[in-house]
Amino acid sequence: MDNGRSQMTPEFAQRLASAQSSIYAFIVSLMGGRDEAADVLQETNLKLCREFHRYDESKPFINWALTLARFEVMAWRTRQSRSRLVLDDDVLERVASALQVQPMEPERELAALERCLQKLPQSQRAMVDERYQCGETVRAMAGRLGQPENALAAMFYRIRRALQECVTTTLAKEESA
């Protein structure tokens, strides 16, 4: 399908910019947390720009973008040795399918995440900042704080789960309001 446009529109650019966090999260999920996710995001952005004339504006942009991102992840996988792939092929398909059926509203989701972070206890918010803003690994943090790495990892697991539940609840409340 061709949308008949010869030039990328500002609306397309805005949609692409707004969807970046969701495309990135999708790619990270399919790559099993690999650092190269930013590189695959870049490849996906280029592909989206090249293919913009194929985008059907009557359909959600994010679904189209994630489909192309999925292809870019597959292309990345073909360039890697098997030992570098975290997910098996069939599992990757399961994860991609599970993620693509979830409604995604990147800007609202990021805004909700921001509000949910403010609801965390101060000590947990500080840990999140150390881990993500400052880039400290759980292992390094455990060494610095003199705590078992497993205990700290379990704490982060609970924090992320709490944040996910808070984001889901916040978005649902906004929709019903």
Partner 1 sequence: MNPEFGKVMHSVLDGELSAEAQAALNEALRSDPAALDAYCSQVRIHALLAWRAGAATANATEKIVAFPVKPRLLRWAGWAAVALVMLGAVFFALAPSRATAAVNRVFAAMQRGDRSYTISVIEGDARMAMNNGRTLTYEGGVLHLRGDRQFVLVRPIIEGGRRITGSDGTVNWDIVGDGPVKVTSDLTRFRGGLPGEQQDSTFLDLAGNLSGLKSGYDLVLSDVLGEPSQVRLYAKRKSRDVRGPREMDITFRRETGVIVALELRGLPRARGGPEAVRLTLNGESTLPADYFTHMPHHESGRWIQDEAPAPRGP
Site for partner 1 in 88-107 (CB under 8 A): 88, 90-91, 94-95, 98-99, 102
Which residue type, as a one-letter code, is found at position 11?
Answer: E
Among left, alpha and beta (phi > 0; psi -120 to 50; other), residue 33 is left
Answer for the pair 126, 159: CB distance below 8 angstroms, yes or no.
no
Q: How far is the CB of 111 from partner 1 (least distance, A)?
A: 11
Q: Please report whether residue 68 would count as binding partner 1 according to CB under 8 A.
A: no
Residues in contact with partner 1, shown as a per-residue x/- string from 17 to 36 under the rule CB under 8 A = xx-xx--xx--xx--xxxx-
Tokens 């890697």, residue?
80
Which residue type, as a one-letter code, is found at position 30?
Answer: L
Answer for the pair 116, 167: CB distance below 8 angstroms, yes or no.
yes
Q: Please report whether residue 10 would count as binding partner 1 according to CB under 8 A.
A: yes
d(CA 157, CA 160): 5
Among 11, 56, 57, 129, binds partner 1 (CB under 8 A): 129
Per DSSP, the three-state class of 45 is helix
Q: Please report whether residue 118 would count as binding partner 1 according to CB under 8 A.
A: no
Q: Please report whether residue 109 would count as binding partner 1 according to CB under 8 A.
A: yes
d(CA 51, CA 67): 12
The tokens describing 118, both together, are: 């403010």
Q: Please report whether residue 153 would count as binding partner 1 according to CB under 8 A.
A: yes
d(CA 91, CA 152): 28
Among 154, 169, 173, 175, binds partner 1 (CB under 8 A): 154
Q: How far is the CB of 153 from partner 1 (least distance, A)?
A: 3
128: number of Cβ within 10 Å: 15
Q: How far is the CB of 91 from partner 1 (least distance, A)?
A: 5
* Chain contacts with partner 1 (rule: CB under 8 A): 7-8, 10, 13-14, 16-18, 20-21, 24-25, 28-29, 32-35, 37-39, 41-42, 45-46, 49-50, 86-88, 90-91, 94-95, 98-99, 102, 109-110, 113-114, 128-140, 144, 150, 153-154, 156-157, 160-161, 163-164, 167
